Chains A and B, each alone.
Chain A
Amino acid sequence: MSKSAALATVNSVRGDVVATANTNEEQYVTFTVGNEEYGVSILSVREIRGWTPESRLPNLPDYVRGVINLRGIIIPIFDLRARFGGGTTEVTKRHVVVVVQVGERTRGILVDAISDILAITQDQIKPPPSMESGLIESQYLSGLFTAENRMVTLLDVARLFAVETGDDEHQA
């Protein structure tokens, strides 16, 4: 799927979201990192853009890729693969950045590719299975969803990179 097509879809679906706001349904943008598929609420996604080289920031964990210039504002880019312990992503021109908005702040998430837009009702979301503490940090998982045969991990964007507080890096 080309990036511009994905962006167009996101925009057109946004309108529908407003129209169907009364139903219990919520739209999720899903994307892949390696073999795994993740989803974030479409309302938090501002745009999807191709990879542009970042400028590094000093003395930060490897999942903080650096900062880029998004039309005159400077936003940080986080590497989702590195965040989940998969090592730093070797970026190519095919990689994309999902630009999300959390409150007043904007940040980018580096992923492999955009995969789908799914309409999910609240009761279709399964809670993540109880896990040994420390195995994965489950506080930023908001649930699991089964689409056909795939499992989509739904992420809580606000908690995922709550780095502006400065806490997360020290835990990582």
Chain B
Amino acid sequence: MEDLQQFKQTYFEESSEFLGVAETGLLRLTPGNVDMEEINAIFRAVHSIKGGGGAFGFTDLVAFSHEFETVMDGVRNSTIPITDELVDILIRANDVLGQLLGHARDGTRPPAGFAVAIVTALKGFAANALEEAPPANEPCTPSPILGAAGRKTFSVRFRPKADLLLTGNDPTFMLRALKAMGTADIECDIGGLPTLAHLEPELLYLQWLVTLTTDQTTNDIKDVFEFVSDDSLVEITEHSLDAPPPPRLEAALPIGADPSRSTNAAPAVYATPEDAPESPQSAAPGPKPAAGRSSSAQSDGGHPSLGSHTIRVDLDKIDRLVNMVGEMVISQAMVAEQLRKLPPGEHQELLEGLQQAAQHTRELRETVMSIRAQPVGSVFSRMPRLVRELATATGKDVSLVTSGEATEVDKTVVENLVDQLTHMIRNSIDHGLESPNVREANGKPRTGTVHLSAAHRSGRIVIEVADDGKGIDRPRVMEKAIEKGLVQAGATLSDEEIDNLIFLPGFSTADKISNISGRGVGMDVVRRNISSLGGRIGVYSTPGQGSRFVLSLPLTLAVLDGMVISVGAERFVLPLTNIVESLRPKPADLHGLVNRCDVMMARGEYVRLVYLHSLFGIPNAVCDSTKGLVVLVETEDGGRLGLVVDEVLGQQQVVIKSLESNYRRLEGVAAATILGDGRVALILDVAGLQEMSQHGGSASSVAQRQLLDASSQPRIM
């Protein structure tokens, strides 16, 4: 059972990839731009989901994906024309498929009547499909000697079962036999061919379409397939003589070519006449390298395959690898420390060897960290969908331009980006862009543009969302801010300050609240989330020309820029983003506030002092802040504290380690890390410290009580 569970896990992982492939493909599908390659990929994705679902007995899923597949098959065979309506239904069908997968994974059943509308729509498309193999759409070539005495033209569709070869039959025999009967034009359909990784060499994935002009009868043709009638599906259609001859397709495989070598042929076999001229264009390398699939498919012998150059690795395994490399760096530092005690000039080779090893370790660390990196394209590729929906909902024409999809950033950052970008794009389309008529009146193109870009800049990733809309309406923002009491009436603010007002909680300039935005829970949430990821966000706006949101994020969430401080014998790490400055106060700066707490004058403001040693119950620490140091820290929501510590040891990049995975959360502690000497240091949570200090000394009195309860001698550090 365990094994089956594991297979299921793999199935769900793969299925979600397939869903992604299908969605990407469907979004690019428009009536004017039909890429057979893409359609085949969608078909295969749906087909694979269905196949796996059948193996695990997910009946609802299979039933639905069957309908979906039928329609895709029709699209593939050009019997169902591609319309906007069809694409919309297919996109929704893909969503339904995702939901059904979710149900299957959780072991629940979808509610009765689930997605009936979509199923009906799909069935409708399938029913309205043009008759199978209509001459106009069939890529067959009737013989030029059409209508010669006693000769007729037949379309023979030969679909052998996959295990035909195992029974000792060879399809080439039948094809040769057909050819011997008259003029035969044979085309091979390799659409059912799986990716190389899934290809079973002993199975047959090919189908043939033979256009035969002969003086023999249907029964004669049937006889050819007599031995394989149980193992294959043979459809024989007689053509009327006046059927217009459809154009011949380049990809058709001539008889005599070994069918097993047909995998090298171009995969698109069926194409309608109107998209045939376009196919060279769509076969050209796509302008979007981040699409991943299409670009990698090119290098694969024209043979689309998903991730043949990649392997799926559990994130835990990579984390373990990262841990081990970190440990290696530490052990190496320890060895180096010992070697420094050797008399100088001796053991030169040993030192050189160690130096080399250190270099290799550094490189190893960088490589390992880069394994976790993912291109932001995986997030960007979700945005066209959003833009499409928003454009429909707002009635605006929007085109999304993306660039820098290949920019790599740690997986954890990628995962956290989706919501923020969604918010920002929503904001740009709803607030930034004008309606088509207004745009035209202002001399702009009717279609608004949202530009999404990513780039590396000084060790951070910078992502921009720019629109060419009306920009921030500063007078209106001011008016709203004053109305909401966020700014005092009569205050003068710079343009930049006004622009930044939109990040304040509860702010919205939308005249009416829509489904999309305007509830005032937008940009402030974005800013809070971004800063909790260690990032910053800024806005630049030019009235009438558009606004640009720029956010910069660290490349990884696993590493933090911190300041190492010491209190007593303990060391702690303060996140650099929280630190304003550190200073040693003069006695004149210090004041007692109603004998309850100490405050300090720093840059014209009174800041409350918090003694870390008393908060954490650390003995042997510096108690006098004029002898120690005060680190001025700021919480995410702007609160300030003066943290009294013994010493500031220096700035360092530290790897964040969880305390909770083997222990539990502690108040005032965000996480832990391992310092250069292999010892553990706690990373402080400034907001938590502020909270602890606010219930006065209660935290430390709790500690004292616990110490007394444990009836022990004073503890040794």
A interface with B by C-beta (< 8 Å): 53-63, 66-69, 71-76, 82, 85, 87-88, 90-91, 104-107, 163-166, 169, 172
Contact = CB atoms under 8 A, between A and B. Distances in A.
B618 interface: yes
Nearest to B704: A59
Contacts of B322: 72
Contacts of A60: 666, 703, 706
Contacts of A166: 664
B682 A57 contact: yes
Interface in B391-408: none
Contacts of A72: 320, 322-324, 326-327, 657, 674
Contacts of A104: 661
B175 interface: no
Given A58-B617, A59-B617, A74 B662 contact: yes
Contacts of A91: 716
Nearest to A161: B663
Binding site of A, secondary structure by majority: helix, strand, loop or mixed? loop
13 contacts: A55-B571, A55-B680, A58-B666, A61-B707, A67-B672, A72-B320, A72-B322, A75-B662, A85-B710, A87-B712, A88-B712, A169-B706, A172-B706
B709 interface: yes
A82 B659 contact: no
A71 B662 contact: no
Nearest to B664: A164
Interface string B652-691: 0000011101111011110010100011111000000000
B493 interface: no
Contact of B709 (A59, A61, A74, A165): A61
Contacts of B703: 58-60
Binding site of B, secondary structure by majority: helix, strand, loop or mixed? mixed
A55 B666 CA distance: 14
B299 interface: no
In this complex, which of A67, A75, A82 has the most chain B Cβ atoms within 10 angstroms of its Cβ? Answer: A67
A72 B618 CA distance: 25
Given A55-B571, A59-B700, 16 more contacts: A58-B703, A59-B666, A59-B667, A59-B702, A60-B706, A62-B707, A67-B659, A67-B672, A73-B323, A75-B663, A87-B713, A88-B713, A91-B716, A107-B663, A169-B706, A172-B709
Contacts of A163: 663-664
Interface in B302-327: 320, 322-324, 326-327
Q: Which 5 A-B pairs have the closest CB atoms?
A: A72-B323, A58-B616, A55-B680, A59-B703, A76-B663
A163 to B, nearest CB: 7
Contacts of A54: 680
A55 B682 contact: yes
Contacts of A58: 615-618, 666-669, 682, 703
B699 interface: yes
Contact of B662 (A66, A82, A107): A107
A82 B617 contact: no
A132 B710 CA distance: 20
Nearest to B326: A72
B694 to A, nearest CB: 15
A68 B680 contact: yes
A54 to B, nearest CB: 8
Contacts of B679: 53, 55, 69
A104 B713 CA distance: 33
B662 A59 contact: no
A69 B676 CA distance: 12
B494 interface: no
A69 B674 contact: yes
B572 to A, nearest CB: 9
A82 B666 contact: no
Nearest to B615: A58
B700 to A, nearest CB: 7
A106 B663 CA distance: 8
A87 to B, nearest CB: 5
A73 B657 contact: yes
Contact of A69 (B324, B616, B680): B680
A107 B662 CA distance: 7
B715 interface: yes
Nearest to B707: A62
B616 A71 contact: no
A170 to B, nearest CB: 9
A82 B67 CA distance: 67
Contacts of A55: 570-571, 672, 679-682
B662 A73 contact: yes
A58 B617 CA distance: 7
Nearest to B671: A74
A104 B316 CA distance: 13
A169 B703 CA distance: 11
A73 B661 contact: yes
B711 interface: yes
